[in-house]
Structure 1
Amino acid sequence: MGALVPLTRPGWVEAGRHLLAGLELAVREVNDAGGIAGRPLELVVRDTAADPGRAAAAVDELEGLGVAALAGEYHSVVARAAAARADALGLPFLCSSAVLDALTEQPTDWVARLCPAQSHGWRIYADFLLGAGHRRIAVAAQASVYWASGIRILRDRLAAGGGTVVELDMGLLDPAGVCDALVDHGATALLLLVGHPDPAVPIVKAVRRDRRLAELLIGAPAGQPEFTAWAALLGDEGAAVPFLRYRPERLTPLGVRVEASLRERLAAAPSFVAFEGYDTVAVLADVLRSHGVDRARIAESWPRVAVDGTRGPIRFSRTPGIGVWQWAWPPVQVVDRDPAEPDHFRVLHPV
């Protein structure tokens, strides 16, 4: 099994480390239970470093090495490049953690996805903002297909509830300029559609320390505050920043057991990305046991998948507007780090 994971900068290395921990734990458990038809499952890992070209080249290499299927990836733009190449080569790809709706340009049977589509999760986030009384939203955004897609989703959903979105171009503004713009626009919430740690961390520090913005909500729908590096860099200033988290309030019994193993492996609380990694291998191992290693048969099996994952029963279906087989839907929460206890999370908006 091939695995695409961001393990070096400019990739989000902490997310990649969690994704890989989940993948590796599940592979180890599969092999401890006898492997696939008596043969060990091997994970062949390639670092994408958040580079679409590097990911596409890795797909070519892994296809040539004879992997039965492809797993992983965190960054949406990178996963899109990998999915396009896997589709062209006829290599089954189960995407673990990349949410961009348009994962492929055209519908394909070769690609399936575990994480929710961006339009699903970010509409939930917009509903949370509206429910909390926010109608004037600013977004600090960098140039990216992913961030641009997020802005469109937020703008459409917020407009339906009487809200507006003001876009702050981080190619033009520094953190001090962001603060001035927030005051000028009368925004009640700022969403960070930017990379982590830069410029996300400097923006948060600037806003938190600006007395004019004492009542402003800072949000991060893409999930930056999920990871321990966020808390380490920002401390108390990183609390009360709502983000999307793809896990239920209560894990399944399997999830409880896996959480303990992941915590030991990572020496930290596992993020939802680690559970996505584990569930990816759980699905593919079940498919390989049932349908063998023929790539076409694997791709044909997506609609017949029925696996109990760490976060609930996993099934794939065709979802309007989504060109790949999709788990519709994994659990979605809006959570933040508790200001009274920043190592703990508060569920603000469960779905």
Structure 2
Amino acid sequence: MTRPIRVIQWATGSMGKTCLRAVIDDPRFELVGLFVYGAAKSGKDAGEIARRDPTGVIATRSIDDVLALEADVVLHCPMLSDPYDGHDADVRRLLEAGKNVISINNYFEPGALGADYAARLESSALKGGVTLAGTGVNPGWVAERMAANAVSLCLSHRNVATREIIDCTTVPNPDYVFEALGFGADPASIDLVDGALARTFDSMFAQSVEGLAQRIGLSLDGYESDHQLRLAARDLTVAAGTIPEGTVAATTWRVHGLVDGGRRITHEVNWIMDPTDPAFAGKPHWQIDVDGLPGLTIAMDLVDTAPEGVRTKPEQFAVAAMVLDAIPRVVSAPPGLLRL
């Protein structure tokens, strides 16, 4: 009988905790380690953190403890880092210690961030004889899979556009909401060209643009961005706190892929705190528009089917599904960087 795949869960925020539960619940996998950032979680059984029965796996804040474990794969689910490559040192240590890594925050298409950057990551993977991959719903699915399939219905295309709208009102973590995502900020404090948030999302979503381009056979000359903010029309009370009137209540991060100076791919992500804002109200979670022959529009929504009392959101389940689907492929892949 084939043994279960041995999994280490790295971080237990909202996405990481959903992945942790999914691993515990799936007989294909055996949880063998858990890395946490917070002191309050360290020393606890993974089952307690996941609201499951005890597992015997105790959470640690020590990467050395993680490196010493016998495991097939690490599910890397930390908060976004500023700078965006701030998790690279940990990931390279995991790779060089012989552990495959699947991340939900980076490494989807490392070549988009430069050949040297991708080569450094690949070198660590090859040194450890393992594989590095990134996956999720965005990046990882809406542009790279759904939009790529949509293009196959067109004889020709001038632009392929993907748009996501994410309602963040129920996100509970203030550090994530007010720091990593920029909500509640004075708009004058956010530099949409060279600021930290712009650099982070340029790096993240350029990978979606490049991933789509690779899949549809389009060779890009480069990328350009045009980001936007929308301000709160009134004080907004959300799960993480209060967003005062006149501060940032929505961010639009938009990256374009260029060919001969023209925009051939457009990838747009909107994080919002006011679902009644006319710019977003009534619009689907995802939309794909192909300006081509023929033209094509696809609208998609996730549906909440969780049992009553379960607070996990559909997008969290979706990310966990993508991660678990990737595990067998990453574990069996040859060493290096893997495009999922």
TM-score, normalising length: structure 1: 0.42
- Larger helix percent: 1
TM-score, normalising length: structure 2: 0.43
